[in-house]
Amino acid sequence: MPPRKLLVFSIIFFFFHSSAHNVSFDFPSFSLRNFTLLGDSYLRNGVLGLTRELGVPSSSAGTVIYNNPVRFHDPETNSTASFSTKFSFSITNINPDSSGDGLSFFLSPENRTLGSPGGYLGLVNSSQLTQNKFVAIEFDTRMDPHFEDPNDNHVGLDVESLISIKTGDVMLQEISLKSGNAITAWIDYKKDQEKLKIFLSYSNLKPDNPVLSVDIDLSKYLKENMYLGFSASTEGSTELHLIENWSFSTYGFLKLRSRLNPHNVSDNTVMMTPMIPARNSSSNDHKRLGLGLGIAGPAFFLVVLVVFGYVSLRKWKSFKTQKSFKSDVLAGPREFTYRELKLATKGFHSSRIIGHGAFGTVYKAFFDGSGTIAAVKRSRHSHEGKIEFLAELSIIACLRHKNLAQLQGWCVEKGELLLVYDYMPNGSLDKLLYQEQQQPGKGENVLSWSHRHNIAVGLASVLTYLHQECEQQVIHRDIKTGNVLLDGNFNPRLGDFGLAKLMDHDKSPVSTLTAGTMGYLAPEYLQYGKATEKTDVFSYGVVILEVACGRRPIERETGGQKMVNLVDWVWGWHSEGKIIEAADKRLVGEFREEEMRKLLLVGLSCANPDSAERPSMRRVLQILNNEAEPVAVPRLKPSITFSCGLPLTLDDIVSDDDDEYEIKITSV
């Protein structure tokens, strides 16, 4: 074996045989780097929220999962670890009369655990009660006879079922789960005793007596690797579930070194060197030789280690940028090899091209090994393109929402940057929305009113998440129908974060380059090049007007050359009191008139020229979910003036490219 490989093998062997499988971590506060957020969960100011924060009763479910699986079973010794965890949580409710349903701490072999709202605690799907496998501790705030709950203030041990194996009455320790106060929970499972105990306290001091003690052997439920997390749910309630901090540790695994010696019964065994009796005086030479080898051996090992370290350091420096980039995303999506992606796309063959993003070409990829289909985005070979591509990856790798394009993985090889997304069988919204115009007479319009309304709500939900529920606010800056992808059920997925900006909530991003698509850009963004959440709101307003009307943001007038602005066109109908006339005629009236009217008015309120009059995306979501009153929209479109004008005409800044109007101008 070559010396370098021998050294690497020796180092790996040394660390492997002297380490244990036990893990431990502590999160005084939380960040997106370490967790996956599913459903309605969110992160704000280092605190995890599991259900939607609304002023009116609603149904909600959310899950937060620690990204790294934890080892609970050692197949070499067929042993299962013990574990201890401690976390602080609070359950608040602005309307105490609308209680329910509670939260849970769970262990699951799956990292996509998300269930239904209501009594299902976000753990299981209401239609597939036996599908999700889990061990969970529930903190239940609603009495549900269906799950044999004893009362509306209890804890319980749930094993692959929401009917608890055993429950404990929290009021016996004078604790109310829904008091709104911070409650600290301790959960201890000792494998050797086959006992699980749960403790609760309003303080940080662990009480002497548990609120629940269960005699149980969890060995057959704790797989080799398990994911940990929290889930919660509501149904017709304003209950809010927060996790403030969390620590966790496993213990009980023997060190491998001790396992190799059956006589070692303690991890603290002292290794003794056996005495070798002296044979005679002639053995002094052998002693000197042994002493020399004892000194020279470690010295040689040290020299080789230094050389190896030096070579590795030089190699690391040569790939410093790439390594830095990788470190930001290792905890999230997987890394693909260039060869994998090349084979899956037939060498990036032109027949596999399914679209073009702002800074890359998108290919359809078939992975023979797994039988899965994905979309691979390949960067253009320009300095600007690579910078924007890295920006897209660094942002989206940290985000989790059901209406975001899901990133499967990435690749940085051969001077190229590639992203691998879930494949969206129904393509982009703009292609479906205008397919009849592109191919007249070929088939019926597949986007029904229910699909369109669902798209509007889904986009409002994900923009609420980006603007208000992330630890750092994300301004997308390029919201348009071409960047809205549709899955097999026509659910929207917002993609293409190449122009997005990540920022703190108390700062405003100011770009020196205005970028986006003409027709979707807010007036103040065009004027000053300053992107805020309200510029995204404007773009969203244009998109949902497109969805409702079936017209592009800027179109040539039928039979003429005059350009018609969609916002102006809809506002014209509104000023005449006939806004329903703006509805897409291809729907042939198959829509709910009240929903259509509301969607058109929300679109106009979002596309208001005055940014101060635009609603927040949270308010838009509440309106579309019938949880808030619509914003009043003036009959006449408001006018807005700036202190200085752009030194460019519309012809200067707009280029007609495949019926899309792209704009990129230096701001003033």
Annotated catalytic, 478? Answer: yes
Q: What sign does the dihedral 572-576-579-582 (CA atoms) show?
A: negative
> Residue 49: exposed, middle, or buried by beta-carbon count in 10 A (0-12, 13-18, 19+)?
buried
278 — phi, psi (to 5°)? -75, 135
Q: Which residue has the tokens 């329910």?
A: 100
Contacts of 114 (CB under 8 A, 6+ apart): 38, 39, 61, 62, 63, 122, 231
Q: For residue 101, is the peptide bond before it cis, meaning its omega torsion is within 30 degrees of 0?
A: yes
| DSSP single-letter state for residue 286 | H
Give 3-state DSSP helix, strand, coil % of the chain, rounded to 5. 30, 30, 40
Question: Is 377 flagged in the annotation as binding?
Answer: yes
| Side-chain half-sphere CA neighbours of 350 within 13 A | 0
Q: How far apart are CA 570 and CA 583, in angstroms?
A: 9
**How is residue 570 written in tokens?**
């809809």
Q: How far apart are CA 54 and CA 92, in angstroms?
A: 12
Beta-bridged to residue 93, according to DSSP, are: 239
322-340 in b/e burial notation, b at 16+ Cβ within 10 A?
Answer: eeebeeebeebbeebeeeb
- Considering the candidates 40, 140, 430, 478, report the single residue annotated as catalytic: 478
> Residue 376: exposed, middle, or buried by beta-carbon count in 10 A (0-12, 13-18, 19+)?
buried
Q: How far apart are CA 481 and CA 476, in angstroms?
A: 13
Cα 542 vs. chain centroid, distance in angstroms? 26
| Side-chain half-sphere CA neighbours of 581 within 13 A | 11
What residue type is 332 in one-letter code? Answer: G
Q: For strand 73-74 and strand 212-215, is the pairing parallel, antiparallel, or unpaired?
A: unpaired
249 — phi, psi (to 5°)? -155, 145
Whether the Cβ atoms of residue 196 and residue 164 lie closer than 8 Å to each other: no
Helix (H, G, I), strand (E, B) or coil at 307: helix
Contacts from 447-454 at CB under 8 Å and sequence distance 24+? Answer: 447/490, 448/587, 448/590, 449/587, 449/590, 449/591, 449/592, 449/595, 449/596, 451/490, 452/547, 452/548, 453/595, 453/599, 453/624, 454/490, 454/491, 454/492
Whether the Cβ atoms of residue 514 and residue 526 lie closer than 8 Å to each other: yes
Q: How far apart are CA 462 and CA 467, in angstroms?
A: 9
DSSP-derived secondary structure for 529-558: -B--HHHHHHHHHHHHHHHHH---SEEEPT
Contacts of 580 (CB under 8 A, 6+ apart): 573, 593, 596, 597, 600
Q: Which residue has the tokens 């635009």?
A: 614
Contacts from 504-509 at CB under 8 Å and sequence distance 24+? Answer: 504/472, 504/473, 505/472, 505/473, 508/532, 509/475
Which is nearest to 186 in space by CA: 177, 174, 198, 195?
Answer: 198
- Angle at CA of residue 425, ends 422 and 428, nearest 5°: 90
Show which residues are catalytic.
478
The binding site for ATP comprises 377
